[in-house]
Structure 1
Amino acid sequence: MAEDEDKDSKTEEPTEKKKQDAVEKGQTAFSKELPVLFTLTAITAIIGFAASGLTANLKSQLEILLDRAGQYSLSTTADTLLVMTRYFEVTMVILAPVMLALAFAGLAGSLAQNPPRMVLKRIQPEFSRVSPKKGFERMFGSKGWAEFFKVLAKIVFTGACVAIFAGNIMPVLAEGPMTSSEVFLTQIGRILFGLLFTMVLAMTLIAVADLLWTNREWLKDLRMSHKEIRDELKQAEGDPLMKARMQSVARERSRKRMMGSVPNATLVLTNPTHYAIALRYNPPTDRAPVVVAKGTDLIAQRIKDIAIEHDVTVHENPPLTRAMYKQVSVDQVIPPEFFEAVAEIIVYLNKKRV
């Protein structure tokens, strides 16, 4: 029940990350009909364009062996095996390229859908595979019915093609004894090629439909719930609570570092109650006054308290402090438009100390 509810909640299309994770786990959309189509196409091409050459080559090689038949001894089992091995070698030399071409076609049909990928998890045993309930769902679920109709379509069409082939080939077989072997084989080849070509066209339709179906089912299996999408977004951008906590810690550390710089300040400008800016000016190290701390309200009061504790001059100048606060940053030189005003204050305070 809970599993059905979980499936019902997955109404959203999968994200790109979800798809990529599935591919990395070996969970990809795969049509079993596409490799069959590639192999059948290769067989049709071989029969249509290379069968006559292969047949002629095989015929010539076997004729050579038959002409030398009298040279072979069959008195022992070893001699018989030697002759059979020789015939087998001649046959395989000619047919091996055909077999390799068919194997390559089937492999190409698989690689055309997904690149090869080593996924060890796919070969690990899964107990759900032997679960009667899971097996029943696979057999009578949507995927099971889709497989059934595919097989049924192939059986019906193949049966129709065989019936048509048999109807076309019977007259040729009946006239076979009265025609030459070359004409007979040519007619058989033409009929067989037409049959295979028709099967390739039908198999193309089946493979395309199956490819679309498997991709649709793959995306359906990867559907996500709203909660999964939110969780993935949190993982991608960071948990908002954790992110806020980290920002809070960073601000606290920055504040402590800033307060630690106040004792080294030359001057603290105040509003006097709402703003405070601590400036350091130690020529020739500083080419101009540098802001070492700034703050409002409680932080401003804390800056003033630290300045008083360490005998740093606190000077009230509300207009200058308010104007400067909006434009200055900590650990930065004050803007040039404030050079003259701050310089006058520093000169005045120095004279006052003297």
Structure 2
Amino acid sequence: MAEDQTDDSQKTEDPTPKKLEESRKRGQIALSREVNNWVMLCTGTIFIVAFSGPMMSQLADMMRVYIEFSHALPGMPGGLSVVLGEGVKKVFSIILLPLMLFMFAAFAAPFLQIGPLFAPEVIKPDWSKISIKKGFGRLFSMRSVVELIKGVVKICIVGLIAIIIISPYYSGFEHFIDIPITAVMEELRFLVIQMMVGVLIVLMVVAMMDLLYQRFEYNKKMRMSRQEIKDEYKQSEGDPHVKAKLRQLRSEKARQRMMQAVPSADVVITNPTHYSIALKYNPEEMPAPKVVAMGIDETALRIRELAKEHDIILYENKPLARALYDVAEIDEMIPMEHFKAVAEIISYVFKLKGRLN
């Protein structure tokens, strides 16, 4: 027990993307049920506000027709089954839309929180979870206490809102006896809408607080010790696929930095199609010209395009371009054996630019 507490106390680092991804694959995510419930309640409220009036009218009309023709049922062959069948169809057609809306809300609520997720491991049987000891541990855990408190708070909120909204109408309920049933249903509908909107507003705050709490608990649960991060790094570095991916990322970043340096060049020596070497020279700061970018084929073409965009002179010298590509390094001075040839080109370029008399 003390060992577990020590391990938990050592987990002070934020989880790595790799651990979060593996956790997501296992279906372990920060999901708030209160947000799901709020979305469902919001869907129900919107539906009642928008469609409950017409639905109640349809149901009232249907009941009125059945009551009016009920005396004729005994004389009709199979009359009761026909009426019941038609009634079921009518009721189904009325409730089909709300059923579809609630199904959509049931899928949309988790999607809005965590995005698309497919975790086959969640549905696999895990017999290790069947443990009386662990069951009691979960029953009396802090999470269970929080869930209990949330349940009590929600019941109190709903009850309080119901009392606040119904109280002004309590003395007037007696007049329901003297008005048509349709008017009674309309007033009750308005009362229910008021209650649902009130509950919706308050539970929105509860849902937001629960969402923040669930994410806090999830991040706390996913924390790692420094040793775990080191072990994960070593494991990842040993994976050839990860190494290849890292090399690719480093190569792409290096290429981006190189392309960003092309506009600072003074001249680009070309092959002219297969090789491009971008050189920069500042006599006051550099003992010799420096290679800021170089490449072949598509990279060479992109260097030439950038040079044209920034009015950098393109100088064709096939042997020198190939030689520099073979021996020069990016962000390094050119090799000494090429000083003379490059100096002539730099001198020519500076004269064109008026930087050398």
Alignment of 1:173-184 (within 5 A): 173-184=173-184
Q: Which residue of 1 aligns with 2:121?
A: 121
- The normalised TM-score by structure 2 is 0.62
- Paired with 1:64 and 1:83, the residues of 2 have a C-alpha distance of 10
Q: Which residue of 2 aligns with 1:40?
A: 41
Q: Which residue of 2 aligns with 1:149?
A: 149
Cα distance change, pair 212–180 in 1 and its aligned pair in 2 (3 A): same
Instruction: Give the conservation status (yes or no) of the 8 Å contact 1:39–1:106.
Output: yes
Q: Extract unaligned runs of 5+ from structure 1.
A: 244-326, 339-354
Cα distance change, pair 98–172 in 1 and its aligned pair in 2 (3 A): farther
- Paired with 2:122 and 2:155, the residues of 1 have a C-alpha distance of 31
Cα distance change, pair 179–72 in 1 and its aligned pair in 2 (3 A): closer
1:209 to 2:209 alignment: yes
Instruction: Give the conservation status (yes or no) of the 8 Å contact 2:24–2:119.
Output: no
RMSD of aligned alpha carbons:
3.0
- Paired with 2:71 and 2:86, the residues of 1 have a C-alpha distance of 14
- Paired with 1:39 and 1:165, the residues of 2 have a C-alpha distance of 22
Cα distance change, pair 170–335 in 1 and its aligned pair in 2 (3 A): same
Cα distance change, pair 207–336 in 1 and its aligned pair in 2 (3 A): closer
Instruction: Give the conservation status (yes or no) of the 8 Å contact 2:166–2:191.
Output: no
- Map Cα deviations across residues 147-189 of structure 1 (whole Å, 9 max, x no partner): 1111111121122233335534433421112234444333222
1:236 to 2:231 alignment: no
- Paired with 1:337 and 1:166, the residues of 2 have a C-alpha distance of 94
Q: Which residue of 1 aligns with 2:7?
A: 6
Q: How many residues align?
A: 249
Offset at 1:79? 4.8
Q: Which residue of 2 aligns with 1:19?
A: 20
- Paired with 1:134 and 1:190, the residues of 2 have a C-alpha distance of 48
Instruction: Give the conservation status (yes or no) of the 8 Å contact 1:10–1:226.
Output: yes
Instruction: Give the conservation status (yes or no) of the 8 Å contact 2:27–2:119.
Output: yes
1:52 to 2:56 alignment: no
Q: Extract unaligned runs of 5+ from structure 2.
A: 244-325, 329-335, 341-357
SS across alignment from 2:171: helix
Q: Which residue of 2 aligns with 1:95?
A: 95
Instruction: Give the conservation status (yes or no) of the 8 Å contact 2:42–2:200.
Output: yes
Offset at 1:118? 2.8
Instruction: Give the conservation status (yes or no) of the 8 Å contact 1:74–1:80.
Output: no
1:29 to 2:30 alignment: yes
1:195 to 2:198 alignment: no
Offset at 1:198? 0.6
- Paired with 1:158 and 1:328, the residues of 2 have a C-alpha distance of 78
* Counterpart amino acid of residue 125 in structure 1: P
Cα distance change, pair 135–90 in 1 and its aligned pair in 2 (3 A): same
- Paired with 1:175 and 1:11, the residues of 2 have a C-alpha distance of 66
Instruction: Give the conservation status (yes or no) of the 8 Å contact 2:31–2:113.
Output: yes
Cα distance change, pair 74–90 in 1 and its aligned pair in 2 (3 A): farther
Q: Which residue of 2 aligns with 1:285?
A: none
